[in-house]
Amino acid sequence: MSVSPDYFQQMFNASDDPWSFRTRWYEKRKRELMLASLPRQRYQRVYEPACANGEFSALLAERSESLLCQDIIEKAVTLARGRLSHLSHVRVEQARIPEDWPQGTFDLVVLSEVGYFLDAKAWRHVIEKTLLSLGPEGAVLACHWLHPIEGCSQDGHGVHAALAEHLPLHRLVRHEDKDFLLEYWSRNPASIDLAETCE
């Protein structure tokens, strides 16, 4: 069974930054590694479900022409909107995945610290939705904690094993620490930046 929204509601009731995204070196380093793993300098349309309070969203916004962020918790959406309010190309919505998956296609879908909060069936549905929403040059950036999480039926290894099994894409990046696994999957087998020119 997927983790209840009440769990996240309690987390945000207790703190505006329940996972210490703003203050922990672990989180800052992880965000920087995630950004460094993106081979393209810019992405046209990016989707980030489970954006929490928008810390990584702010960095993604610098690499995208259009960014859609979502979270299931109203307070998280309010915090993310406040964090990103000065950016006209960013939209933040309250939504639940996989049920409220957005329409249209994306050049990048970011699945960060979300897979193990879903049961295996719901996660498989997310993977299917992700694949269907990728454009011709679309890519997936996934990053998950590897240690067991109380109340979760999956762990990071299982989440990424499902991605490997059900995403018929090219894996361009794989970085595994003791604490987390980061992977970048793309329809294109080569780094698109090879074809880009500096302005």
Domain coordinates of the chain in residue numbers?
Answer: 5-195
Q: What is the pLDDT of residue 24?
A: 84
For the 5-195 domain, the top CATH level (class) is: alpha beta
Q: Which helix (H) or strand (E) holds 107?
A: strand 106-112
For residue 32, what pLDDT is reported?
95
Please give the pLDDT value at position 191.
62
Q: What is the pLDDT of residue 5?
A: 75
Give the pLDDT of residue 44. Answer: 97
Residue burial 109-147, b: 16+ Cβ < 10 Å; e: rest: bbbbbbbbbbeeebbebbbebbbebbeeebbbbbbbbbe
What is the tens place of the pLDDT at every residue in 151-174?
A: 888 899 999 999 999 999 999 999
- Determine the Cα–Cα distance for residues 69 and 105; give it in Å rounded to an integer: 14
Q: Which pLDDT score, from 0 to 100, does residue 9 have?
A: 75
pLDDT for residue 190: 76
Q: Kindly compute the dihedral angle of the four CA atoms of residues 118, 24, 177, 148, in this order, to the nearest 10 degrees.
A: -40
pLDDT at 152: 83
Position 13 scores a pLDDT of 74
What is residue 151's predicted lDDT score, i.e. its pLDDT?
Answer: 80
Q: What is the pLDDT of residue 82?
A: 93
Name the CA dihedral angle for 68, 96, 94, 41, rounded to a multiple of 10 degrees: -20
All residue ranges of the chain with pLDDT < 70 are 1, 7-8, 11, 18-20, 191-199
Amino acid letter, residue 156: G
Q: Specify the pLDDT at position 157.
A: 94
